[in-house]
């Protein structure tokens, strides 16, 4: 039997965060050992895109700043773990951010003020974020998030961006790490950004995408992952049913696995 599909909201949020993470770690500020540690990122309003950006930046190791005057949005950011701190002024946020920047550790701080007010003060105070959300009205200091992905040539389709998700039928805390290990084994040795995502995304996505793993990758990885998962299922190394889905250019391929049985593609 097929697993119950993940909630559209959970999938959309995880996918948005994964794609934001890919843009962030493509920045020249990112380093294979420290990622975006020591980098200040301004995310603007914690709306749907802003919340995904905050999660992505935390996974990437950045110190992030957001701002909203909406009390409900403030509470939601804290409740979902998108923001670590809610403060009342830019001064308070900068004290926290400077400490984390010095230690090259991630943190997400939300200021309980309208973004326009915070942005005016950022300019007046001479605060210079290393990275900016692409649609905020601050003079960008680096264009990393403004770059557009190029469409790969037909000969490079196996390198084309794809999304891969996986879930297990039961006991996700026990068996999802087994699938994660297979995924890690399928990554190229130099795929440090994807390895960091797999290691930290479950912590920072938290209840927003509970029980769902998602990786922004390419078709070559997806093919390797499905093939190795097929072998693991046939050997009953994961003794519960599980599912892998690949999303590529609007096409969904659904692979369902049962211990000891050959899987099929939907």
Domain segments of the chain: what residues?
34-146, 154-265
pLDDT one digit per residue (tens) for the chain, 266 residues: 556 667 788 888 998 999 899 989 988 889 999 999 999 999 999 999 999 999 999 999 999 999 999 999 999 999 999 999 999 999 999 999 999 999 999 999 999 999 999 999 999 998 989 998 888 877 655 444 443 344 444 444 445 578 999 999 999 989 999 999 999 999 999 999 999 999 999 999 987 787 899 998 888 899 999 999 999 999 999 999 999 999 887 888 999 999 987 545 44
Measured distance CA(30)–CA(94) in Å, rounded: 22
Q: Count the residues in the chain.
A: 266
**In percent, how much of the chain has pLDDT > 70?**
88
Measured distance CA(14)–CA(183) in Å, rounded: 17
CATH class of 34-146: alpha beta
Measured distance CA(121)–CA(69) in Å, rounded: 15
Tokens 């420290």 correspond to what residue? 34
pLDDT digits (tens, 9 = 90+) for 39-83: 999 999 999 999 999 999 999 999 999 999 999 999 999 999 999
């Amino acid at each position: 039997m097929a697993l119950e599909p993940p909630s559209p909201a959970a999938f959309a949020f995880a996918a948005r965060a994964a794609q934001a993470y890919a843009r962030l770690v493509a920045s020249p500020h990112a380093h294979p050992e420290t990622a975006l540690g020591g980098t200040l990122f301004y995310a603007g309003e914690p709306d749907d895109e802003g919340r995904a950006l905050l999660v992505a930046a935390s996974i990437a190791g950045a110190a992030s700043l957001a701002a909203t005057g909406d009390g409900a949005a403030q509470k939601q950011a804290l409740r979902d773990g998108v923001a670590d701190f809610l403060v009342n002024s830019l001064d308070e946020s900068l004290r926290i951010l400077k400490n984390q920047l010095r230690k090259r550790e991630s943190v997400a701080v939300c200021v309980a003020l309208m973004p326009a007010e915070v942005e005016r003060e950022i300019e007046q105070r001479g605060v210079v974020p290393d990275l900016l959300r692409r649609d905020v009205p601050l003079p960008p200091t680096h264009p990393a998030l403004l770059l557009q992905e190029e469409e790969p040539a037909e000969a490079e389709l196996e390198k084309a961006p794809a999304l891969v998700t996986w879930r297990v039928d039961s006991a996700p805390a026990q068996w999802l790490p087994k699938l994660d290990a297979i995924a890690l084994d399928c990554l190229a040795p130099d795929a440090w950004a994807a390895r960091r995502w797999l290691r930290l995304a479950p912590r920072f996505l938290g209840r927003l995408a509970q029980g769902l793993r998602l990786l922004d990758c390419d078709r070559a990885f997806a093919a390797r992952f499905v093939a190795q998962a097929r072998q693991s299922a046939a050997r009953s190394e994961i003794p519960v049913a599980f599912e892998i889905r690949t999303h590529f250019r609007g096409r969904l391929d659904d692979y369902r696995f049962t211990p000891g049985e050959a899987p099929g593609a939907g």
